[in-house]
Amino acid sequence: MYVPKNVYTNKDLMKYMDTSDEWIQERTGIKERRFAERNGETTTTMGVEAAKIAIERAGITPQEIDFIVFATLSPDYYFPGCGVLVQRAMKMNEIGALDVRNQCSGFIYALSVADQFIRTGTYKNILVIGSEKHSFGLDLSTRGRNISVIFGDGAGAVVLQPTSKGNGILSTHLHSDGNSAETLAMYNPGTHANHWTDTKLADFNDAELADMFMSHDMVEKGQNFPYMDGQAVFKKAILTFPEVIMEPLSANGYQPKDLSMLIPHQANLRISQFVQQKMGLRDEQVYNNIHRYGNTTAASVPIALCEAWEEGKIKENDIVCLAAFGSGFTWASALIKW
């Protein structure tokens, strides 16, 4: 994992918007988050820093990586994706590089894709990265406070390899429901030209119709920032998380009590606490670090996985579940015998 050195506490955010430490902690559990350097640090460079550690720990070199899967919602460029920038920055061979756009579930979707290539024997060393530079795309004024206080920057990476020991990824499970696509979304830049007006799910339709990705009107109305209906997201998340955690447990003959560690996407501490309670999990079965990093979207699962492992909380043969829910809506899980 890699997180930028700049720490922004809740009190620091009060310099930009009308909010309070109490409000943020009570509703989200977040105390502080990291924001990348404005210049010189990008979603890709943070991903590369995490990747260097993952590759070193895997005992290989960047030239031995034979496929890259990069999950992010905050890419360096609208196109091309971050995967090719990693390939260039790490002087890798001319291998495949795939970008995954599944927001908070992005890392687990990416892992699932990598898992299929490993299972078919197509590739031997796949680099999977989740990285976000949210700070570049947040409305830090009071207008954007319901969403901007939640997000932070950072990156996590893993190297996936085949194993013959019976451990590894047992199964992955992917879901989506596009009916709520506008509930948590960044509409612009995009080609929608207000086409989805009948959804009535969001307030993006009052910007003048543009015949290009981005117009001055959109910028003036703050429609270049993400939109979130927080309560709708919360309600769906607490229904979906327990289901998507039970799915791999049932598929592999396990019960919640058999879980050594649940690594939930760090969306909101209240969501994780609700899920823990609903599933009857003990404190030591659930890893939370949202208080230090906020929600880092595609990076949150690999960052939490890395910290849990570094703290000795994940050991060989442990049953570990990764689970995420977010924009799309999409949700996903992976069960791993470590």
Ligand X SMILES: CC(C)(COP(=O)(O)OP(=O)(O)OC[C@H]1O[C@@H](n2cnc3c(N)ncnc32)[C@H](O)[C@@H]1OP(=O)(O)O)[C@@H](O)C(=O)NCCC(=O)NCCS
Report the catalytic residues.
104, 265, 295
Helix (H) or strand (E) holding 156: strand 154-160
Q: Does 19 bind ligand X (CB under 6 A)?
A: yes
Going by C-alpha positions, the residue among 112, 113, 77, 108 that lies closest to residue 98 is 113
Taking the least distance from each CB to ligand X, the nearer of 62 and 294 is 294
# residues contacting ligand X (CB under 6 A): 19
Distance CA 160, CA 229 (A): 35
Backbone angles phi, psi at 13, to 5 degrees: -65, -25
Q: Least Å distance between CB 7 and ligand X?
A: 18
Taking the least distance from each CB to ligand X, the nearer of 117 and 151 is 151
Q: Least Å distance between CB 27 and ligand X?
A: 4
Taking the least distance from each CB to ligand X, the nearer of 190 and 230 is 230
Q: Least Å distance between CB 254 and ligand X?
A: 26
What is the number of the residue whose Cβ is closest to ligand X? 230
92 to 111, contacts with ligand X by CB under 6 A? 104
Choice from 326, 334, 335, 337 touching ligand X (CB under 6 A): 326
Q: Which residue has the tokens 């442990």?
A: 318
Taking the least distance from each CB to ligand X, the nearer of 23 and 77 is 23
Pairing of strands 67-71, 126-132: parallel
Choice from 93, 141, 197, 231 touching ligand X (CB under 6 A): 231
55 to 84, contacts with ligand X by CB under 6 A? none
Choice from 1, 4, 28, 41 touching ligand X (CB under 6 A): 28
Taking the least distance from each CB to ligand X, the nearer of 62 and 328 is 328
Q: Does 233 bind ligand X (CB under 6 A)?
A: yes
Residues 237, 266 contacting (CB under 8 angstroms): no
How big is the CA angle at 276 (ends 273 and 280), to the nearest 5 degrees? 140
Q: Least Å distance between CB 10 and ligand X?
A: 9
Q: Least Å distance between CB 201 and ligand X?
A: 15
Q: Does 27 bind ligand X (CB under 6 A)?
A: yes
Q: Does 23 bind ligand X (CB under 6 A)?
A: yes
Taking the least distance from each CB to ligand X, the nearer of 95 and 232 is 232
Helical packing angle, 82-89 and 43-57, nearest 10°: 60
Choice from 112, 260, 268, 289 touching ligand X (CB under 6 A): 268
Distance CA 174, CA 244 (A): 9
Going by C-alpha positions, the residue among 260, 232, 264 that lies closest to residue 245 is 264
Going by C-alpha positions, the residue among 109, 83, 81, 112 that lies closest to residue 95 is 83
282 to 311, contacts with ligand X by CB under 6 A? 295
Distance CA 292, CA 306 (A): 14
Taking the least distance from each CB to ligand X, the nearer of 47 and 226 is 226
119 to 148, contacts with ligand X by CB under 6 A? 145-146
Choice from 114, 128, 138, 149 touching ligand X (CB under 6 A): 149
Task: Please report, as ranges, the residues that interact with ligand X according to CB under 6 A.
Answer: 19, 23-24, 27-28, 104, 145-146, 149-150, 230-231, 233-234, 267-268, 271, 295, 326
